[in-house]
Amino acid sequence: EAEVAQSPRYKITEKSQAVAFWCDPISGHATLYWYRQILGQGPELLVQFQDESVVDDSQLPKDRFSAERLKGVDSTLKIQPAELGDSAMYLCASSGRTNTGELFFGEGSRLTVL
Amino acid sequence: AQSVSQHNHHVILSEAASLELGCNYSYGGTVNLFWYVQYPGQHLQLLLKYFSGDPLVKGIKGFEAEFIKSKFSFNLRKPSVQWSDTAEYFCAVNARGADGLTFGKGTHLIIQP
């Protein structure tokens, strides 16, 4: 079964350092999402790509977060500098062109900022 | 914009008990509705979904959900839970024709053997 790949699974970093997360969606899926899930809460959308273009980044803290999907396949989410409040699970998801809302999630990257 | 409300943040049940987790959404248009489950240490998985038709939908592992349009609700049910159902359950809504999902805060379900 095709899966969404994410790395690293776990990242521990100190405040003010830079971190990066990588995601490879299911092959052929045009839409890619980055969600943030704070412990005890539901996932919240950070950014959505359609192919290589950003569709929605209204909830992305652009002063420190950036995301790219240069070739319309895999994607990188970067945080610089990391803050204590960024500790969370960062989830990548993808969907096909059927536009039903059904998303396929990766296992996530858990970030701990010390 | 749409929003999702899940009524119970923590639920503890004994094995064989019946389960109902509440979910209400707020959106004026047509929606697709989902329940996702996250088992300990695993990724979010689709439990069931509603797009149209019969408002009672069946998912994996004996779960079902009923869409009641007049109440903007999509409650999740299971007649007899098992210890392996211990997980986090998320209700989510998609505005028809748009991409992406809006999630509720989740319900942490613990099943005691």
Structural domain spans, chain A: 5-113
For domain A5-113, the question of CATH label 2.60.40.10 is answered with yes
Residues 6+ apart with CB under 8 A from A63: none
List beta partners, residue A111.
Answer: A11, A88
B28 and chain A in contact, CB less than 8 A: no
CATH number of the CATH domain containing B15: 2.60.40.10
Site from B8, B25, B44, B52 to mutate, A interface, most A CB atoms within 10 angstroms: B44
Distance from chain centroid for Cα B48:
8
pLDDT band at A1 (very low <50, low <70, confident <90, very high): low
Please give the interface size between A and B, counted as residue pairs whose CB atoms are below 8 Å apart.
Answer: 64
Three-point CA angle A52, A58, A64, nearest 5°: 85
pLDDT at A97 over 80: no
Alpha helices in chain A (DSSP H): none
Task: Report the percent of chain A where pLDDT is more than 70.
Answer: 96
Q: Which domain holds residue B44?
A: 3-112
Render pLDDT for B53-105 as a digit per residue (tens, 0 to 9).
Answer: 999 999 999 999 999 999 999 999 999 999 999 999 999 998 877 778 899 99
Identify whether the C-beta of residue B57 lies closer than 8 Å to the C-beta of residue B65: yes
Higher pLDDT, A86 or A98: A86
Q: What is the mean pLDDT of residues A19-35?
A: 95
């009524």: which residue's tokens? B7
Domain count, chain B: 1
pLDDT at B29 over 90: no
DSSP annotation of A75 reads E
Distances (CA, A) of A98 to A91, A94, B60: 21, 12, 22
A25 and chain B in contact, CB less than 8 A: no
A95 and chain B in contact, CB less than 8 A: yes
Averaged confidence pLDDT in chain B = 93
